[in-house]
Amino acid sequence: MKLEFRNSLSVKLLRVVLLSALAVGVVLSCAQIVYDTYKTRQAVDSDAQRILDMFRDPSTQAVYSLDREMGMQVMEGLFQDESVRMASIGHPNETMLAEKSRPLQDMSMRWLTDLFLGQERTYTTQLVGRGPYSEYYGDLSITLDTAAYGEDFLINAVIIFISGVLRALAMGLVLYLVYHWLLTKPLSKIIEHLTQINPDRPSQHQIPLLKGHERNELGLWVNTANQLLASIERNTHLATRPKTACSAWPSTIFSPGCRTASSCSSNWTRSSSTAAACNAG
């Protein structure tokens, strides 16, 4: 009986291994993307803090002296960074000393990056004077557009996902080849030898031991199978011998050579022994 390729153990093993590897690769890649999202948000926070630290002193000087021109110079310096979308200097309860804004950056995949990073992020630092009193003058507020960070994040996410899936599939394929070499291929050879066994003479064709598998489970299985086949043929042979003798018993008694009383008596004695053996069988 020829085994269909789609029903073979190798195909099922390959399917299970690749599907499992794909699932593991997707899960690990998603976990890596989530971690990369966290790191990107931290990068946005770090850049915002760096910008605020850089412009805190000139902003404090501008709001302390109520110098609107100096405040606009601070705005121009802030907007040199392409991620800054909005900025303002002033007291929250008064008219802003200086403020500036620009529209959000247009990006084809922005709807996707906004899901992970948000559309924009706002940061504020207090402007206080130096000295023993540390008088509060107002706030410096900036709003960062996440588009620039989202573009790099999206490229990294695609690379992480594709490389993770490919790495998992490659490992799954290697694992399948190892299983095929150690298990599936030897089993196929054993099955091939089993199909060559004659049911009437089971021990005539011995299953050979596979090289490299003499002392493992496959070698033990082959040795046990050979012993079982030999035992089957031996018991079959012993069972057929009494039947042959019993079938010849009537012809022995009434054989043509039984012409004298002594010869008939001898035949009768041998036939009685055969009958006893037949009855015992």
Is the entire prediction scored with pTM above 0.85? no
pLDDT confidence of residue 256: 53
pLDDT at 100 > cutoff 80: yes
The segment with the largest mean pLDDT, out of 92-96, 122-126, 170-174, is 122-126
> Any alpha helices (H) in 180-216, and if so which ranges?
185-194
What is the arithmetic mean of pLDDT over 239-263? 53
CB contact set of 82 (below 8 Å; sequence gap of 6+): 105, 145, 148
Give the max Cα distance, the chain. 154
The segment with the largest mean pLDDT, out of 36-45, 233-242, 256-265, is 36-45
pLDDT confidence of residue 187: 81
pLDDT confidence of residue 277: 45
Q: Give the amino acid at 46.
A: S
